[in-house]
Amino acid sequence: MEKNIAVIWGDCSSPEIVKQTLRVLDKVAEKYGHTFHYTDAAMGGEAIDKYGDPLPQHELDKCLAADSVLLGAVGGPKWEGLPGEQRPEKGLLRLRAGMGLYSNNRPARIWPQLAPASPLKPEIVAKGIDFIIVRELIGGVYFGKHETYTLENGEKQAVDSMPYSEHEIERIGRIGFETAMKRRRKLCCVDKANVLDTSRLWRAVMHRLQAEYPEVEYSEMFVDNCAMQVVKDPSQFDVIVTENMFGDIISDEASMITGSIGMIPSSSLGDGTRGLYEPIHGSAPDIAGKDIVNPTACILSAAMMLRYSFGMTEEADAVENAVNKVLDKGLRTADNMSEGCTCLGCTAMGDAILAEI
């Protein structure tokens, strides 16, 4: 197959992980007889520096013209003082919206080799951590109106609004149920229905969908309770479906309990097969240029792209198995080091994974 991949190199230490990921993709192409064409697209800090805009239309157009998009991570201290509209994150939000990527899929899974790195007690980890957070990505308070104005008494007031309409909930709710059907058939809707109208509308829509998926054991949980349960007993979860902001918070908490955020990929998809694939970690400015950042989450994001955008199951398995073998051999990057293991830099970790494909 021939595929066009838009590549957003990202900021700070991100280009280092993207570089290793493209090497892996090239190896896959060579081994399985595919051709991947890469088109660089600028977003985030790089785009601000080049164009004074975190995502100019011509760069978004490159992403829309591709079969899929690979992203490292954007942002860094250099761009932190900028006003809201000009910040790197704004480019990411506009990319998600511009590509129509309403479904963000974030796995929280423990790699057995890295289990000792979890901040949770071994007894809790031993019960298993393997769930997925399906986060709505282009609605809610992220994309509602944001207003700041001056009241009559002279003080400022800001108002953010959190809108959700039925079709937005239904399409992500369906992904939640479908994801559960492919797994252990448990779906938990996380919300704050005792306070929010949007949450009550979520529940109404979810109840309609539930009727279509009688095999799925469906439950509901308040977000505050969920923040507790993720720490107390993560083994209870299979698939969580939730709105944008709650998904942001809970998925980050969930990634931390795995003890290895340098290993967690994510996919964002819309109605078609064109997706955006990125690690859940940030651009790690503090270690940029040192060749020590962990490229694995980005490489595993590319594996998700092979699987979900290109239907290349065998190829995706090959990459994931390669990562597994590397871990089995005791090879680690600095963020994951533990006694008896060998510490590799970013390039050397890329080499090690390549060698197993």
Ligand X SMILES: CC(C)[C@H](C(=O)O)[C@@H](O)C(=O)O
Asked if 257 interacts with its own copies (CB under 8 A), we say: yes
275: left (phi over 0), alpha (psi -120 to 50) or beta: beta
Owner of token pair 């970690």: 281
CB 215 within 8 A of CB 97: no
Please enumerate in sequence order all residues whose Cβ is within 8 A of that of 206, keeping only pairs 6 or more positions apart, or say none. 169, 173, 189, 218, 220, 241
Q: Which of these, 300, 326, 303, lies nearest to 314 by C-alpha position?
A: 303
In the bound complex, what is the minimum distance in angstroms from residue 111's beta carbon to ligand X? 21
236, 276, 285, 278: which is closest to 257 by C-alpha? 236
**Radius of gyration of the chain from its Cα atoms, rounded to whole angstroms:** 20
Q: Does 121 bind its own copies (CB under 8 A)?
A: yes
Alpha-carbon span 80 to 84, nearest angstrom: 9
Catalytic residue list contains 328:
no
Interface pattern 60-89 for its own copies (x via CB under 8 A): ------------------------x--x-x
What character string, x for contact with ligand X (CB under 6 A) and - otherwise, covers 217-236?
Answer: -------x------------
Considering only residues 148, 150, 153, 194, which one is a binding residue for ligand X as defined by CB under 6 A?
Answer: 194
Active-site pick, 102, 142, 164, 218: 142
Q: Which helix (H) or strand (E) holds 343?
A: strand 342-344
Q: Which stretch binds ligand X (CB under 6 A): 53-61, 87-95, 143-151, 205-213?
A: 87-95
Tokens encoding 356: 């197993």
Q: Is 40 a catalytic residue?
A: no
- Examine the residue annotation and report whether 67 is marked as an active-site residue of this protein: no
Closer residue to ligand X, CB minimum distance, 113 or 266 = 266
Q: One of 224, 271, 317, 328 is an active-site residue; which one?
A: 224
Determine how many CB atoms are found less than 10 A away from the CB of residue 163: 14
SS3 of residue 229 by DSSP = helix
Binding-site member from 136, 248, 315, 335 for ligand X (CB under 6 A): 248
233 catalytic residue (yes or no): no
Q: Taking CB under 8 A as the rule, does residue 232 contact its own copies?
A: yes
Q: Which residues bind its own copies (CB under 8 A)?
A: 84, 87, 89, 93, 118-122, 124, 141-142, 144, 146-148, 151, 155-167, 192, 194-198, 200-201, 204, 223-225, 227-228, 230-232, 245-246, 248-253, 255-257, 261
| Residues belonging to the active site | 142, 192, 224, 248, 252
Q: Which residues bind ligand X (CB under 6 A)?
A: 89, 92-93, 194-195, 224, 248
